Chains A and B, each alone.
Chain A
């Protein structure tokens, strides 16, 4: 039997989280070291999966399937294809950098890392799940630790409100989709939750048209789709740094990914029927999110709304149902995940030192924290879709796909690139350059070595993909091809 690498990736974090809880609470350093070791392990294993995936062979690899409840056709069924391999890697990266950045956390680090790892297990589980029941199971595991992470360690002013809002939004979404999932299960009548089998089943058109919105929007809430995006900026802002990174970087992808896997893949005709609506809403996301980001005065809210805008691009890519659009969306999920993790890391580093996030009160930070400034500029360029960086590799195919389907939408959506440039440049100018206000002059110190490692890692990945897209594009394209062959479209 081959080494059950995906199971280790999925289950190790939650088990290590439990072990961390057993460490006496005074031993904070042991807790941190254990957490870092676990995160390193996750990063290494997910890198292994990513590069070990054999594109020439394609399809599902690293497959593991065990009976869970055979009587109802529930199995523990994990595998990676071109679509989810990058997302597994992304989760590994964000988990690793998140732990690095949270090194200085002093309030109950034991519980913090334990909950963070339960969350990570849930996320890994959803990404690799090929069984619908298993997907819901892990999806909800990923929802609830979020509540405690934000409510306990979040920003004191809004954390209770934001945490509750976020949890309820996501829970509503997931249970609504759950009913849709059960409807599919019984409609197909094959007595299996295997998504591959369900994808091959030809659901009647009316059924698909009726259930698609429930399933798709139920998940897309977590992807931040307009008008259900409201929880997301509040949640991002209230969350502690590592959790914001996880949240915007990985969790929103979870929603988008599940909307694709369960919504579009299993109910393709429904997707075609609702395509104009999704495309319209996604365009609103893209443009409206960017505009709102521009008028924010709080650094973290800018990034929060930029996530709404960028996730709109992912949804836009999905809505094209073309190979280009879906491939772009797949890469965008990865690229945005890394980029936004970097952004939130930077915001956290600035806030920890300045204790304010008002853009107008900040300034001149590049002198004290050059690494952070450079990292933010790189991230900013990615966010604008600058060629040579991962953002371009992702956004260009999305616009190509949209152009093929609806040229007008492509033009409208492209406005967002300009606005993005405007708000990013504004932040770079105000926060990192210009004169530093008096009160910061003497007590702002540079970031720690661990923080730098995280920043370099995140920037390096974005540059690598931008310079050499071949390490990701063909892989995602192969995954998209697989999905499109299942839905029989394009």
Chain B
């Protein structure tokens, strides 16, 4: 592929990133100027600004049908990257809306600024085409997230979460970096799309190739919380401020999958296509099974959703195993469905926590009488996570399993569907508490603030729309998949 050196027109391709940086600056400036009673607007500005960036990108920064390597091969401007960027922008906007009314974080400018910088990092992750750029992007994403996870400094669990996340993140990122150095050493280039040539042509021992594959996968496995690199997730998810948990489990995970896909497709396809697909398959099986089984035992809803999100990473990995057009398209589709669904689930948890101050599943008793609307939204989100039609989760699961069947991994599809039964059990258990159990607090008022209402309504409608009118979404997912499939 042809590498283009810098020319000013390329700036259009990173317009979303530039706008994000500007937005972060505006938020910090407003935070410094405004009086305390005006600071509630910070969240609105962030959310509105992100949506504006999203619309602006859609209007102006659309990539051409031909993928291009820009800035001397640092970034690849293609539909794959662009679609993930939109996804991150949307996820961040929704997270900002959910954060507005949360005590200790909702009215602090640095909170939103950090989140915007992290989103900027994710955007670069999705489009990075050079391992140095990739590493920088991953760190730009992660470091603000470490801080955000430990943002509630007066809460022990939150500080523990931040620190734990930092330690795990730093450790795996070093391992990954070592893998990158091997890649560079063997091929003599840092560009992902040039790497494969040198990497496989010379007579290196197969062990070296596989070794660098494993080291790199460890780094990405941490980001997507795949077993056995999942240990950080439950504690961090539980301790972090809930809006950030939602952000971590959706946007950050989607970013992890984006780089995983790009790197595997650009560099490691030969390795995966040989025997290593079964290793990835084992990883997928372990990830969904461990996630689901441990979710069964949880009493805290954030921990339960943490394990559930590990399980979902397992389902998505099925697409990597298949590594076909359907496989990649189904992963993209799954990530979209999963992002809106899980944001809705965590959003509902945020709202409930604001009113009651509790995250215990048992305290959700009587919610359907107290706030029928919130109960309904939670039902939609949880059933979508369980994979029930007519919601987004159902179609996503069918596509992923279809990819497995098509690639002759029928056993993997069977393990997947059996896992979704375990999933259904614990999601239904929560719905049971919400709809069936009575509680003494039933008569107490339950108010949902305006930004939360907006965010939750948008997400709920989105879940139903993606689940019923899935045609256009799938076509888009396939187009996106096409832009990184045919390139290596």
Contact = CB atoms under 8 A, between A and B. Distances in A.
B405 A186 contact: yes
A25 interface: yes
Given A70-B471, A138-B389, A168-B425, A151 B435 contact: yes
A172 B390 contact: no
Interface string A147-181: 11001100000001000100110011001101100
A136 B389 CA distance: 9
Nearest to B434: A148
Contacts of A74: 471
Given A182-B402, A185-B402, A71 B474 contact: yes
B450 interface: no
Contacts of A152: 435-436
A144 interface: yes
A103 interface: no
Secondary structure type dominating chain B contacts = helix
A69 interface: yes
Interface residues of B, number: 34
A147 B428 CA distance: 8
A69 B471 contact: yes
B372 interface: yes
Interface string B452-488: 0000000000000000001100110010000000000
A111 B386 CA distance: 21
Interface in A113-169: 133, 136-138, 140-141, 143-144, 147-148, 151-152, 160, 164, 167-168
Residue of B389, B421, B435 with most chain A CB atoms under a 10 A cut-off: B389
A178 B417 contact: yes
A438 interface: no
A105 interface: no
A67 interface: yes
Interface stretch (B13-21, B309-317, B406-414): B406-414
Nearest to B406: A186
B398 A151 contact: no
Contact of B414 (A136, A179, A186): A179
Interface string A171-203: 110011011001101100000000000000000
B394 interface: yes
Question: Which bucket holds chain A's interface residue count?
Answer: 35 or more
A140 B425 contact: no
A179 B414 CA distance: 7
A179 to B, nearest CB: 5
Interface string B404-432: 01100010011001101100110010011
B376 interface: yes
A80 B187 CA distance: 63
B472 to A, nearest CB: 9
B87 interface: no
A25 B417 contact: no
A141 B405 contact: no
B351 interface: no
B383 interface: yes
Contacts of B425: 164, 168
Given A71-B478, A186-B405, A25 B470 contact: no
Contacts of A69: 470-471, 474-475
B389 A137 contact: yes
A179 B435 contact: no
Contact of B435 (A70, A144, A148): A148
Contact of B389 (A68, A70, A141): A141
Given A140-B388, A140-B394, A168-B424, 15 more contacts: A21-B376, A67-B471, A68-B471, A69-B474, A69-B475, A71-B471, A72-B402, A137-B390, A141-B389, A144-B388, A148-B431, A168-B425, A175-B417, A179-B405, A179-B414
8 contacts: A71-B478, A147-B431, A152-B435, A168-B425, A179-B405, A179-B413, A179-B414, A186-B406
